[in-house]
Amino acid sequence: MVTSKFLLGFGTAIALGLGAIACAPTAPAGPEPIDSPPGASSPSPVATTAGDRPSTQTVKDPWTQQDVTLKLFEQPGVPMTTYYAEETFEVRATSAGEGTSIQFSGQGPENAYVQIYVPRENSSVAEMEERVSGANGLVETNGWNVTSTNGPRAYPWVQQRVDFEADYNDQQNFMGTVYVGEMNGQAFTATVHYPADAGDGFAPQAGQILENLQVSPR
């Protein structure tokens, strides 16, 4: 296990029967997250190496319009880097037999997170799509209700997009998106999950993580 910061209030990473890993939110008595329509595949983006990236990056916060300094996330043995707002997110990276899961958990809205999952084996995009939308996959296992599979592919690495909403024990509504991506020939998933009433503030900050995401091949 590789740990940047331990997250309080979130479950440990679990392995899917189909080989995906994810971390469970603490939605009351809700199902645990475990880890549109597919269109023509775009060329796999080419990322620079982690060593080429500065330790911080200053950007304009899309919500407050104030300058914000983002911190570079990189850990030995973790096949991805990105930038994130350290004041907003706590990070936990967990490696297990099936792959590596990196969860950026919001310190504001409860159960708001961005999770990147990179399988240990070199899975294809089609295999990752099956792990998301197939039988016993991410969507079915969590009981998420798919609301759209044809939303905009906001990032060049996106191969499939699945928007969903969830209602855990009728106590709070959640929504989010699962992206199946490919970069440098490496397929992966990125899940964004947050309370429906927190989307205006959380979604842009989650977008900063995904916009700066770089995934390396295993």
**Quick one: pLDDT at residue 16?**
35
CATH number for the domain harbouring residue 210: 3.40.1000.10
Q: Encode the chain in three state secondary structure.
A: CECCCCCCCCCCEEECCCCCEEECCCCCCCCCCCCCCCCCCCCCCCCCCHHHCCCEEEEECCCCCCEEEEEEECCCCCCEEEEECCCCEEEEEEECCCEEEEEEEECCCCCCEEEEEEECCCCCHHHHHHHHHCCCCHHHHHCCEEEECCCCCCCCCEEEEEEEEEECCCCCEEEEEEEEEEECCEEEEEEEEEEHHHHHHHHHHHHHHHHCCEECCC
Number of structural domains in the chain? 1
Flag whether 209 is in a domain.
Answer: yes
**Quick one: pLDDT at residue 62?**
67
Flag whether 47 is in a domain.
Answer: no
**Quick one: pLDDT at residue 159?**
97
pLDDT tens, residue by residue, 84-108: 999 899 999 999 888 999 999 998 7
Flag whether 48 is in a domain.
Answer: no
Flag whether 4 is in a domain.
Answer: no
Owning domain of residue 121: 13-35+55-215
Mean pLDDT of the chain: 79
Residue 157 above 50 pLDDT?
A: yes
Residue 5 above 60 pLDDT?
A: no
Flag whether 40 is in a domain.
Answer: no
**Quick one: pLDDT at residue 85?**
92
Q: What average pLDDT does this structure show over 190-203?
A: 90
Flag whether 90 is in a domain.
Answer: yes
**Entry field: residues in the chain:** 218
Q: What average pLDDT does this structure show over 9-16?
A: 34
Residue 31 above 60 pLDDT?
A: no
